[in-house]
Amino acid sequence: MNTVINGESLLDLIQGQHSELILVDTRSFAEYARGHIPGAINIDLMHFHWFDTSTVGILQFEKQMGLLLNYLGINPSNQVIFYDNISGPNASRGVWLLNYFSHLDSFMLDGGFEIWSKLKYPVEMKTNQYSHSTFNFHTNRTILADLDYVKNCVDKNSQDVVIIDCRSQAEYNGSVARAFHRGHIPKSVNVDWSNNLSNEKFSKFDALARLYSFISKETEVITYCQGGYRAANTYLALKQLGYPNVRMYLGSWGEWGNNPTLPVELN
């Protein structure tokens, strides 16, 4: 499954005036205002963390995110490109979000705005307006893990599931605490999301394949981080490699690590 688009291909789409293209700048508005890819609208996705994956919490998440996608003007016919400064967590979260709502014609600009700028492609500074839609999305819950799902995998000590902690080693081993608990979800394996990248872009296929060679394609993979952004980047990397069964734990450590009743490991 291809999850990224390169700058040259995006430039061709823009210059060809692709009428169904929606380009989403996921950086802060301050960065957007200093210059962005022509035609891009801006939404800083970092404002949309979600730490409640109870049944009610997921329903509320779906309602809020559905409204957000309608606010951005997304319809089934649109091709949607998200970009960050690099091939980063915000843009990854955007692609994962559209995948969750069964819209697969969505991609991350590989290398983001930094690569676009280095290539000296056109930039504009004017603010582009949203165009609202009323698209009724259908969710694909097979790519989301909630707290109960992850806890069940931990309790069963299932050998058919690999849980990847996409945070830094310091967060994983507990020397940096960003929740009530220090440490990580039991049995999870630490692969820092930044290892997915080389020079602001996704690493080449062979390098990514070596990074995740300890996981067979038949294994289910659950990714998590602090808030479901770095984990979305690893979700995209694994889908790029052809892993068919990948879920992102939406609540991530922000939910698990702040629940005093749940088990954690330190090492």
The structure tokens listed for 163 are: 């849980």
For residue 166, how many C-alpha atoms fall within 13 Å in the half-sphere facing its CB?
Answer: 30
Alpha carbon 192 to chain centroid, angstroms = 14
Q: Does residue 258 contact residue 266 with C-beta atoms inside 8 Å? A: no
Active site residue 225: yes
The structure tokens listed for 221 are: 């993979």
| Active-site hit among 58, 109, 145, 225 | 225
Alpha-helical runs (H) found in the chain? 7-15, 29-34, 55-71, 89-100, 112-118, 147-156, 169-173, 205-211, 230-240, 252-256
The one-letter code for the residue type at 221 is V
Neighbours of 177 (CB within 10 A): 12
- Phi-psi group of 60: left, alpha or beta (phi > 0 → left; psi -120 to 50 → alpha; rest → beta): alpha
Query: How far apart, in Å, are the Cα atoms of 121 and each of 12, 126, 129, 201?
Result: 11, 16, 22, 17
Active site residues: 225
